[in-house]
Amino acid sequence: MKRVGLESSLAIAEAVRLAGVDVVSAYPITPQTHIIERIAQMVADGDLNASYIPVESEHSAMSGCLGAAAMGVRTFTATAGQGLELMHEVLPVASAMRLPVVMAICNRALSSPLSIWGDHSDIMAARDSGWVQMFAENGQQAFDLTLCAFRIAEDVEVLLPTAINIDGFHLSHVIESVLIPEQGEVDKFLPELPRPYVLDPRKPLTMGDFATPELYIEAKKSQDVALRNSKKVILQAWQEFEGVFGRRYSPVETYRADGASVLLLTMGSFSEVAMEAIDRLRESGEKVGLIRLRLWRPFPFEEFRQVASQADLLVVLDRAVSFGGPGPVCSEVQAALYPLSKKPQVAGFIGGLGGRDITTEGFEDMIRNARKKADAGRLGEVEIIGVRE
Amino acid sequence: METLALYVPRLLEKKENFAPGHRACSGCGEALAVRMVMKALGKNVIVVMATGCMEIISTQLPYTSWEVPWIHTLFENTAAVASGVVAGREALTRKGKASSRTKVVAMAGDGATADIGVQALSGALERGHDFTYICFDNEAYMNTGIQRSSATPFGAATTTQPVGKISMGQNTWKKDMPAIAVAHNIPYVATASPSYPFDLMNKVKKARDIEGPAYLHILSVCPTGWRTPSDLSVRIGRLAVETGVFPLYEVENGKYTLNIDPPQLRSVEDYLKLQGRFKHLTPEMIKEIQEKVEAKYAELVEKVLFYDGF
């Protein structure tokens, strides 16, 4: 194992190399990240023995992944922002056909106006695509979760495509300190798993049939059950990961949440800034803590409820707008809390769109603001923060 | 003739890898073409198919007509999925887990090829994957109710370019997909018709055995959409060739060959008059079509002669 300074995008490429990916089908832009460029270089140098398909669009990138994954080989792609939107039609096909493609998404804003900077608009629009979806907060997690994604996606109990989300620019283009393991350790964690349903002339299968109303809903229920059940394997994979590499991951992670009456909820790299805000507020004696949602799909209802139900007030930051509705994460957590008899009030905020920063002070203000709103009984509406009016 | 009729079927592969019992319309030229293609390809293939007639009629859950591995995902991405299957086969071959001789064959209709899927197809041909792409051209979106495509011929009536008080149906000339394939400088491009079974099957075998991308364009008579009697599909397919409307040719590494070259082309009217989709055509329009067909045919003959050294 060695510690290196590595851009998070390159850390993901490094994980792809160590995972011994067989096929990479990718389009490098819309907008560009360094993941694919680095993988192309690895293939060119013979450091990664993979078939790399430089396709002509993201739609074809994901379509190429479908074909390769149907052959039963380890398959990877990466995209961001508009690219994920162009893939949109193909995403639910990957999950419905139980094709374990792994994809890194450098989360970006959506046009218009054109913005190449980060927020969560892209992945929130792909939320219901049936993929396993998780969020990384730093370069090490980006590396670790990429390795875990292969372990989870290809498990015979799961066989579902898996996405690792990292914040565009805030994470994808930032150099971080990353521990890179030896090949032997990775091989121990990531053995080649059996794949029961593949395209093989010796055992012909028909994949991707057409279903009348008599069978469609059965197919959809079995898909939903598969995604919900994947949590068991996700927990097991993270446990195995801890066993080999010593780092621990959970669906819902917390920071100084014990005894907190106010909990802030964030996803992705902004969580690390939020931790500083929590430290400051704790120093001034306030009982605040942080929930960092690691696993977005399948939604970890049980773990989330257990943590969130202790608080009086939950402050949720969304980095995407559901125009005319509540923030997507906020509506999700509210729905998760609603059946509970003892539950916190929820204050929803939207911020950090299109690369706008939220500073430590910004998070402190958000929590104070939420308290004021709660005291005044004005929690009904979502507020977009940091806007120049 | 009688002896020949007894003898010819013996030349054919008996095994039906596209099994009977599917839901194609009676007289479907496309199902007939797929059947011949599958006889020619043999067992060691993986078929990637676009959404369309053939997909719908052959794979309604829980049934399938496919005796070989078959995958369908979406409408416009067939060539891209095939690229992935080829890459997957390569990866398995590197590990000694698959045969490099397994051929990947993409199949799509004219809409999935010339309209919505043309980008993915162009990308896959340009990248040079080792696969065969077959366009089954029935000249409109027939599965969904005869909507026009860019492969619909001039003058044909469709539900989205209908004949009306001020319209005579399709007002554009058929997109020349084989020429677009040729422009990618791929090793093999050919046109074929199930009305000429041996020519078709020989071309399929040629495409299969070539390393690199091959493109086949098969005219598939559609009684439902062309408004033709279902017992005339083979006849109409022959007339398309005999009139020069759909010449049978191949382009091997840029070299053109005409496979069927009638001493004299029949009048296009012989072909048009059997089809309800053309019944509104005026003598002027038929003349316009005749001139266009002759000019295109002359262009093709010119290319053949050029490569023959004339």
Q: What is the ipTM of this complex?
A: 0.96
Shortest Cα distance, chain A CAs vs residue B235, angstroms: 32
User: Cβ–Cβ of A71/B92 closer than 8 Å?
Assistant: yes
Checking if the pLDDT of A103 tops 90, the result is yes
**Rounded to whole angstroms, how far apart are CA atoms B310 and B297?**
17
User: Cβ–Cβ of A206/B66 closer than 8 Å?
Assistant: yes
**Quick one: A197 and A276 in the same domain?**
no
Structural domain includes residue A303: yes
Structural domain includes residue A109: yes
Last residue of a domain, one of A218, A245, A272: A245
What per-residue string of b and e applies to B14-30 under the rule 16 or more CB within 10 Å gives b? Answer: eeebbeeebebbebbbb
**Quick one: A211 and A327 in the same domain?**
no
What per-residue string of b and e applies to B158-173 under the rule 16 or more CB within 10 Å gives b? Answer: beebebeeeebbbeee
Which residues from B are below 8 Å from A72, CB to CB? 88, 92
pLDDT tens by residue, B175-210: 999 999 999 999 999 999 999 999 999 999 999 999
Non-local CB neighbours of A12 within 8 Å, separated by 6+ positions: A35, A78, A104, A142, A143, A146, A164, A166
**Quick one: A215 and A152 in the same domain?**
yes
For residue A31, what pLDDT is reported?
Answer: 74
C-alpha dist (Å) from residue B115 to A52, A54, A159, A281: 27, 22, 33, 60
Last residue of a domain, one of A217, A245, A273: A245
Checking if the pLDDT of B1 tops 70, the result is no
Which amino acid, one-letter code, is at A154?
Answer: E
Structural domain includes residue A338: yes
Which residues from A are below 8 Å from B55, CB to CB? 210
- Closest partner residue to A201 (CB to CB) among B55, B69, B88 is B69
**Quick one: A311 and A221 in the same domain?**
no
Non-local CB neighbours of B199 within 8 Å, separated by 6+ positions: B192, B193, B248, B259, B260
Torsion angle of the four alpha carbons A205, A207, A213, A217, in this order, in degrees rounded to the nearest 10: 100
User: Cβ–Cβ of B45/A201 closer than 8 Å?
Assistant: yes
- Order the strands of the A295-297 sheet from edge to edge: A51-54, A23-26, A75-79, A102-107, A162-167, A132-135, A295-297
Shortest Cα distance, chain A CAs vs residue B118, angstroms: 11
Checking if the pLDDT of A92 tops 80, the result is yes
Which residues from B are below 8 Å from A211, CB to CB? 60-61
For residue B198, what pLDDT is reported?
Answer: 94
Which residues from B are below 8 Å from A57, CB to CB? 119-120, 123
- Closest partner residue to B44 (CB to CB) among A49, A201, A212 is A201
**Quick one: A239 and A265 in the same domain?**
no
For residue B4, what pLDDT is reported?
Answer: 66
Structural domain includes residue A92: yes
The residue among A204, A195, A190, A226 whose CA lies nearest residue B19 is: A204
Shortest Cα distance, chain B CAs vs residue A109, angstroms: 26
User: Cβ–Cβ of A65/B89 closer than 8 Å?
Assistant: no
Which residues from A are below 8 Å from B44, CB to CB? 201
The domain that contains A269 carries what CATH number? 3.40.50.920
**Rounded to whole angstroms, how far apart are CA atoms A75 and A99?**
9
Which amino acid, one-letter code, is at B159?
Answer: T
Kind of pairing between the strands at A252-255 and A206-207: unpaired
- Degrees (nearest 5) of the Cα angle B218, B219, B223? 135
B36 phi-psi bin (left φ>0, alpha ψ -120 to 50, beta other):
alpha
pLDDT tens by residue, B261-294: 999 999 999 999 999 999 999 999 999 999 999 9
Domain residue limits at B212: 2-307
- Degrees (nearest 5) of the Cα angle B305, B306, B307? 90
Crossing angle for the helix pair A139-153 and A8-18, nearest 10 degrees? 30
**Quick one: A234 and A280 in the same domain?**
no
Report the Cα B2 to chain-centroid distance in Å. 30
User: Cβ–Cβ of A207/B70 closer than 8 Å?
Assistant: yes
**Rounded to whole angstroms, how far apart are CA atoms B257 and B304?**
6
- Closest partner residue to A208 (CB to CB) among B68, B71, B88 is B71
**Quick one: A175 and A306 in the same domain?**
no
> Which of B78, B81, B125, B130 should we substitute to test contact with A (largest number of A Cβ atoms within 10 Å)?
B81
**Rounded to whole angstroms, how far apart are CA atoms A293 and A385?**
21
- Closest partner residue to A22 (CB to CB) among B43, B91, B123 is B91
Q: What is the average per-residue pLDDT within A151-175? A: 97
User: Cβ–Cβ of B55/A210 closer than 8 Å?
Assistant: yes
**Quick one: A127 and A37 in the same domain?**
yes
User: Cβ–Cβ of A210/B60 closer than 8 Å?
Assistant: yes
**Rounded to whole angstroms, how far apart are CA atoms A375 and B125?**
65
Structure tokens at A109: 């804003």
User: Cβ–Cβ of A67/B71 closer than 8 Å?
Assistant: yes
pLDDT tier at B249, thresholds 50, 70, 90: very high
Chain B residue with CA closest to A65: the answer is B84
For residue B126, what pLDDT is reported?
Answer: 98
Give how many domains chain B has, as a whole number.
Answer: 1
User: Cβ–Cβ of B84/A97 closer than 8 Å?
Assistant: no
Cβ atoms of A129 and A227 closer than 8 Å: no
Non-local CB neighbours of B9 within 8 Å, separated by 6+ positions: none
**Quick one: A292 and A371 in the same domain?**
yes
Structural domain includes residue A389: no
Last residue of a domain, one of A229, A245, A261: A245
- Closest partner residue to B80 (CB to CB) among A64, A205, A215 is A64
Give how many domains chain A has, as a whole number.
Answer: 2
**Quick one: A45 and A151 in the same domain?**
yes
**Rounded to whole angstroms, how far apart are CA atoms A227 and A143?**
23
The domain that contains A58 carries what CATH number? 3.40.50.970
pLDDT tens by residue, A197-239: 999 999 999 999 999 999 999 999 999 999 999 999 999 999 9
Domain residue limits at A288: 252-384
pLDDT tens by residue, A252-269: 999 999 999 999 999 999
Non-local CB neighbours of A201 within 8 Å, separated by 6+ positions: B43, B44, B45, B46, B68, B69, B102
The domain that contains B221 carries what CATH number? 3.40.50.970
